[in-house]
Structures are given as C-alpha cells and as structure tokens.
Amino acid sequence: MAYVSIYLNFAGNAEEAFNHYKSVFHTEFAGPLMRMKDIPPQPGEPALSESEQNKVMHVALPILSGTLLMATDILESMGHKLIEGNNVTISLNPDTKEEADRLYKGLSEGVADGVAPHDEFWGYWGTVKDRFGIRWMFNVMKAQ
C-alpha cells in the first residue's frame, strides 16, 4: 500500500534523536537501524572512516496515524552539508515503479536538481528538489 513519510537529515546524531523519539512516541523502529557500513561497496566510491561507518544510513519510526518518521546521517566526506532547508524531505512510497516515474516527472519539471528513480540494492529510488524548493524522495521497496 502506498504511503507518505517524512525524511530527516542529521549531522551525526540521528541515532540519538531517534532513540529520543522512540521514548516520546512509545513505538519501536520499523525494521532494523541500518548503518553506513551496511551499504554494499560501490566501485569508485571512497572508503568511509570508522566513525562514518557507524553513522545511520537509514532508520524509520512509526509516529502517529501510520506516519513514518525516517532519517539518515549526512556525511561531510561525501560532500554533504546540513543546512536549514535540506534537513527535511517528503518521502513518497508508491506501489509501482511506473507511479514513482510519473511523480518524479511531474515534480521535476523545470529543475535540474534531481536523481531520476533507478534500481538500488533496497529498491527503486530517486529524489528531486522541485521548483518551489521542496525536496521529494521516491521509494518503491523490493518485495520481501
């Protein structure tokens, strides 16, 4: 079933924040907390430092009415920089790749800041900052 979630970027303290949110919302993580070291090695990508390997790659927490709060730690070594405006993303999780492509096409009209949906190790993923400055993410998870 398709759903919408809120995706947050943190500067190294996603795990601390989400442990706090767990206590506030009285819920448990939706799946395991994934670390950067869980990412399969990518050809041409630089190796991560030991401290970066333990940063959060992905975490999800149900909060209210089926809404998922999700997050990652950004990595400055990868050229990422946390500034107000890039720390929140609306994550659309449609049921099909075709629907992800349709949504991406509409939201990316007239902009160049995007990554078209494509296959990744966890599913079909893409992202775009629309012409109004809102960042959107698209995820179609692989069937379990």
pLDDT in tens, 50-105: 999 999 999 999 987 888 999 999 998 888 888 776 778 888 888 999 999 999 99
19, containing H or E segment: helix 14-25
CB–CB of 67/26 below 8 Å? no
pTM, two decimals, is: 0.71
Asked whether the predicted pLDDT for residue 25 surpasses 90, the reply is no
Task: Give, for 17, the enclosing helix (H) or strand (E).
Answer: helix 14-25
Count of the separate structural domains present in the chain: 1
CATH code, 117 = 3.10.180.10
CB under 8 Å to 125, separation ≥6 — which residues? 117, 118, 137, 138, 139, 140
Q: How far is CA 130 from CA 32, 58, 143, in A?
A: 31, 23, 29
Domain residue limits at 118: 3-141
pLDDT band (50, 70, 90) for residue 43: confident
First to last CA, the chain: 14
Q: What's the pLDDT band for 128 if we cut at 50, 70, 90?
A: very high
